[in-house]
Chain A
Amino acid sequence: MSASPSLSRRDFFRKAAGAGTMQASEKLIANTPRDVAPAPSLAAHVANRLTFGPRPGDVAAIDAQGVDAWVNAQLNPTSSDTPELASALAALPTNTFAENTQTLYDRRIEYWMSVEPVNQVRHATMARMLHSKWQLRELMVEFWRDHFNVYGYDSPVSCLYPEWDRLLRQHCFGNFRAFVEATSKHPAMLYFLDNYLSTNAGPNENFARELCELHTLGAINYNVTGGYIDDDVYEASRCFTGWTYERDGKSPDRGKFKYVRDNHDRFQKVIFGTDIPRDQADLADGLKVLDLVCYHPGTARHLATKLLHRFVSENPSEALINSTADVFYQNRTDPNQIRLTLQHIFSSAEFRSTSNRMVLFKRPYDWIVSTMRALNIPYIYRDNDDDNDMDMTWMINQVGYQLFAWRSPKGPTFDRYTWCSANGMLRRYNFIFRIDAGWWDNKGLVYPSVSILPSSLKTTREICTWWVNRVIQRTVSNTTFENLMTFVSNGRNVDLALSTSQIEDKVPRLAALCTVTPEFMWR
């Protein structure tokens, strides 16, 4: 059963070790006075929680617009976007986005051709995360991409990835049942979870298993009363036999969903105690399974909990889980089901509570993109530069993982312990310090620093205050601020003017250092 035995065991150990872990880390710094930054303003909170990190000036802009109005706008994106995004996309290769399914599918023959579509989506996704004004949509696209994870670099997934990306964007605020039907029928999913090979002669249970365990009901509902058991998975896999995609290279429908009646198990099935009669119409068995799992209250609870983990805290209250699951369940046939659920979360007192601000550890892409946004580092694609490297991919991958290349159907976790590791921290430090040191100037990984510092600012204190406000956009702890100042002043009086050469020596490093402060690791 795929990832579940080992992963759930690890989760179990983590939980068991949780209390001890906290004690140990408290003990580790027992002699150090506790000095944490004050909770940020509500505007700074939503700018960190509902975007990939504020660009300079974003927090003030949200404050001016009003948090409620800004959140509401984010939930209802329009077709207009920033000129920065338009020019970034114009500079990227995007020719595969306009190709139809057959043409995309035919690209699978040569490896370099087959990955061109997925690479182009990756470039465009980086540009959107950096520059789109509809940041919440980008976060939701990422949320669902991880939720319905497919490995993007196997053909034909790689070829059809532009379609897959459009599908995620189309449904990201919409109706969950419709979303699941779309993912279940897409060749990317049919291929990745082997359902394309599943026939009455040999049902493959991989898809049905993950549909229950990852996409809908969740492991919380496995082998519990009212949840699902292995027999339900076996029966569900029989219901999906014959769901495949057209693989005949001569067919005009190649690369598209296809139902092969002769490969479907036409006999009676029983799932969750519901009879599925024999000889139903084409697709009816599988669609019935999708109804049963998507409209199940356990699915509402699983999805509510997962959204709350991403947007509220690692430990959302039982009350908020219940009320969020209720909204999800009550609106299960509403075309705005997901939007309404998010609206409920974002308007809750718990989401806005000062104790829940900046308490989620940034995952690799949270940190990378927030750093690039804060420092105005553009995403640049170069077709054939000196190193013959195409883009910034390698440098960005170093910090965590390659976008769209997560192998497990259980996408990247939100779990702090996965990302807050020695390797993970070192990679963050080295990413920005190497950029600062000029290692990747030829890749376009550069940021402005001395050139944008207002010339009226001369003292260490003035300069540090300006950079903290610009990059971190919230009050930092005394310890953080004192150490930033010590770095700049090198122990001298922080209220004396610095020389030009001191500014040139310290300011680029100061900007880098802001992105690896303890404060900047959280969202």
Chain B
Amino acid sequence: MKIPRRQFLQGCCAGITAMAGARLTNVTFAQTPASSRDILVTVFLRGGMDALSLVAPYADSEYHNARPELGLESSNVVDLNGYFGLNNAASGLAALYAAGHLALIPACGFPEANRSHFDAQDIFDRGLTGNAARNGDGWLSRHLSPSNPMDSVFRAVSLASEPSVSLEGFSHSLAMTGADDFSLNGQWNNVNALRLALRNMYAADPLIGGVALQTLDAADIVEAAPDEDYVPKNGAVYPNTDFAKKTRSVAQLIRMELGMEAATIDLGGWDTHENQSNGNSNPSQGYFANMAKQLADGLLAFWTDLQDYHGRITVVVMSEFGRRLRENNSRGTDHGHGGLMMVLSANVREKKVYGRWPGLAQEQLFESVDVDATTDFRAVLAEILRARRGVGLQEIAQLFPGFNYDKNVGFFLPEGASTAAKDWNLFE
């Protein structure tokens, strides 16, 4: 039995539907989140994204000295401020930047020396450093906990086969590779009867009935909203890429008003040790450029589609580290340190490149080889949580133990700017 989408959505918005049969009988979600708290979408570029090829310091001679083949020239970039330029392949990001909605924060990272993908991703996903990063729970999990059975089963969704490590420890996280992938399988001609039996058996169970019904509800809802039924708005065109499929699914879930507060998306494939571009014949084309285009176009389609939700969504893009300043002999780059973070929001303060750029002269480099990390990644997350998720300073300290949150990067306008201005010192 397939629920007509219109009927289904009406039911959900009313908070309750009553339908006979095996599928959704009642929606047990709490009300949708207050609009004062943004839906947080995290995009993790797994593998170590070469920030210097995306937001390139194209006017810096040190950059070109270190990257004779891979360095982007002025013709390869959209200029941002006379020093940085956005790779032409990422024209979607340039559009978002031009709209004033994209804060670019180069030279982000963590304070310790660690060039292991695994460790560095743990540091970002868990919001913890040192030994704690290997074992703790996820920063999003700490932020969203505790959850209770009345919460929406869609509170935190990972567009993946497993919940993101950032949600590790969160009891209400869902994982699905697309909006049609949280489904209950079974022998074809009995699948509805099996569902009905489960539903009726668990409805009477005082202890785990709630969770079981939410599971069945979530499967029904997701199955009732197949990907192909979703019509993007505002002329948005999602390209046919893995990443755009995921941003499209997130948009779909957001429009369904299911009480989603956080979504996580991974985009892997950034570990570009070799043949990163077509070389100096055309450094803005090739493998990396295609990845950058996939990222940019997927985000642009998402942002275009959800215009009516601007002001209720914050997207943060991160990667575990940037890459070595000096290109290697295989036309690639090795693991580095400081990388790029991006924040996409209608509340971005102004169109500019944020943070303190450490410079590329050898004495300015981290351990003499890598872009330094002058902005702690937790400062970016803390500023988002504080400005757009209503998180207080005390809770920030608990979310990121050991991190001294003493000033903001300044990419957001503070809530009640005049009174809080003291806390909102910019770096420069």
B contact residues around A29 at 8 Å (CB): 203-206, 209-210
CB contact list, A13-39 vs B, under 8 A: 13-14, 16-17, 20-21, 24-29, 32-36
Q: Please judge, given known A-B contacts A3-B135, A509-B190, whether A25 and B206 are in contact too, CB under 8 Å.
A: yes
A421 to B182, CA, bound (A): 14
A429 touches B169 (CB 8 A): no
B132 touches A429 (CB 8 A): no
B contact residues around A484 at 8 Å (CB): 197, 201
A518 to B199, CA, bound (A): 11
A451 to B172, CA, bound (A): 40
CB contact list, A164-180 vs B, under 8 A: none
The reply on B260 being an interface residue by CB < 8 A is: no
A24 touches B149 (CB 8 A): yes
Among the 9-residue stretches A77-85, A235-243, A405-413, the one with 4 or more Cβ atoms under 8 Å from chain B is: A405-413
Q: Please judge, given known A-B contacts A422-B174, A521-B208, whether A408 and B200 are in contact too, CB under 8 Å.
A: no
A10, A27, A361: most-surrounded residue (chain B CB, <10 A): A10
Q: Please judge, given known A-B contacts A21-B148, A28-B149, A513-B197, whether A425 and B211 are in contact too, CB under 8 Å.
A: yes
B212 touches A518 (CB 8 A): yes
* Set A2, A32, A409: member contacting B203, Cβ < 8 A: A32
B148 touches A487 (CB 8 A): no
A contact residues around B205 at 8 Å (CB): 29, 36, 518
B208 touches A13 (CB 8 A): no
B contact residues around A353 at 8 Å (CB): none
A29 to B214, CA, bound (A): 12
B135 touches A2 (CB 8 A): yes
The reply on A483 being an interface residue by CB < 8 A is: yes
A417 to B211, CA, bound (A): 10
A contact residues around B148 at 8 Å (CB): 17, 20-21, 24
Residue of A nearest to B204 (CB): A479
A contact residues around B212 at 8 Å (CB): 425, 518
A33 touches B204 (CB 8 A): yes
Chain B 181-205 per-residue mask, 1 if CB under 8 angstroms from chain A, else 0: 0101111111101101110111111
The reply on B146 being an interface residue by CB < 8 A is: yes
CB contact list, A463-520 vs B, under 8 A: 477, 479-480, 483-484, 486-487, 490, 505-506, 508-509, 512-513, 516-518
B contact residues around A477 at 8 Å (CB): 204
A518 touches B209 (CB 8 A): yes
Residue of A nearest to B122 (CB): A407
A28 touches B209 (CB 8 A): yes
The reply on A457 being an interface residue by CB < 8 A is: no
Chain B's nearest CB lies how many Å from the CB of A446?
A: 13
A contact residues around B398 at 8 Å (CB): 9
The reply on A7 being an interface residue by CB < 8 A is: yes
Chain B 103-147 per-residue mask, 1 if CB under 8 angstroms from chain A, else 0: 000000000000000000000001010011011110001100110
B28, B126, B194, B218: most-surrounded residue (chain A CB, <10 A): B194
The reply on A281 being an interface residue by CB < 8 A is: no
Interface size on A, residues (CB 8 A): 66
A421 touches B204 (CB 8 A): no
The reply on B32 being an interface residue by CB < 8 A is: no
Interface size on B, residues (CB 8 A): 58
Chain B's nearest CB lies how many Å from the CB of A234?
A: 14
CB contact list, A418-435 vs B, under 8 A: 418, 420-423, 425-426, 429-430, 433-434
Query: Dominant SS at the A interface?
Result: helix
Chain A's nearest CB lies how many Å from the CB of B298?
A: 25
B contact residues around A408 at 8 Å (CB): 134-135
The reply on B17 being an interface residue by CB < 8 A is: no
CB contact list, A195-254 vs B, under 8 A: 206, 209
B134 touches A407 (CB 8 A): yes
Chain B 251-270 per-residue mask, 1 if CB under 8 angstroms from chain A, else 0: 00000000000000000000
CB contact list, B389-417 vs A, under 8 A: 398, 401
Residue of B nearest to A481 (CB): B201
Q: Please judge, given known A-B contacts A6-B136, A509-B190, whether A429 and B184 are in contact too, CB under 8 Å.
A: yes
A423 touches B175 (CB 8 A): yes
A contact residues around B191 at 8 Å (CB): 433
Chain A's nearest CB lies how many Å from the CB of B10?
A: 23
B153 touches A518 (CB 8 A): no
A436 touches B187 (CB 8 A): yes
Chain A's nearest CB lies how many Å from the CB of B388?
A: 22
B contact residues around A20 at 8 Å (CB): 148
CB contact list, A338-384 vs B, under 8 A: 361
Q: Please judge, given known A-B contacts A26-B206, A29-B210, A421-B172, whether A479 and B215 are in contact too, CB under 8 Å.
A: no
A28 touches B131 (CB 8 A): no
Q: Please judge, given known A-B contacts A36-B206, A434-B185, A518-B208, whether A7 and B200 are in contact too, CB under 8 Å.
A: no
Chain B's nearest CB lies how many Å from the CB of A344?
A: 28
* Set A1, A361, A423, A490: member contacting B163, Cβ < 8 A: A423
Q: Please judge, given known A-B contacts A16-B146, A407-B134, whether A422 and B206 are in contact too, CB under 8 Å.
A: no
Given contacts A26-B206, A408-B135, A518-B204, 17 further A-B contacts (CB under 8 A): A2-B135, A2-B136, A10-B145, A13-B145, A21-B148, A28-B210, A29-B205, A422-B172, A423-B163, A433-B185, A433-B187, A437-B186, A437-B187, A484-B197, A486-B200, A505-B189, A518-B208
Contact surface of B with A, Cβ cutoff 8 Å: 28, 126, 128, 131-132, 134-137, 141-142, 145-146, 148-150, 153, 163, 169, 171-175, 182, 184-191, 193-194, 196-198, 200-215, 218-219, 398, 401
28 contacts between A and B (CB under 8 A): A1-B132, A3-B136, A6-B142, A6-B401, A10-B142, A14-B146, A16-B146, A20-B148, A29-B203, A29-B205, A29-B206, A29-B210, A34-B204, A35-B204, A36-B206, A420-B208, A421-B172, A422-B211, A425-B212, A426-B215, A426-B219, A438-B187, A484-B197, A487-B194, A487-B197, A513-B197, A517-B201, A518-B205
Contact surface of A with B, Cβ cutoff 8 Å: 1-3, 5-7, 9-10, 13-14, 16-17, 20-21, 24-29, 32-36, 206, 209, 361, 407-410, 417-418, 420-423, 425-426, 429-430, 433-434, 436-439, 477, 479-480, 483-484, 486-487, 490, 505-506, 508-509, 512-513, 516-518, 521
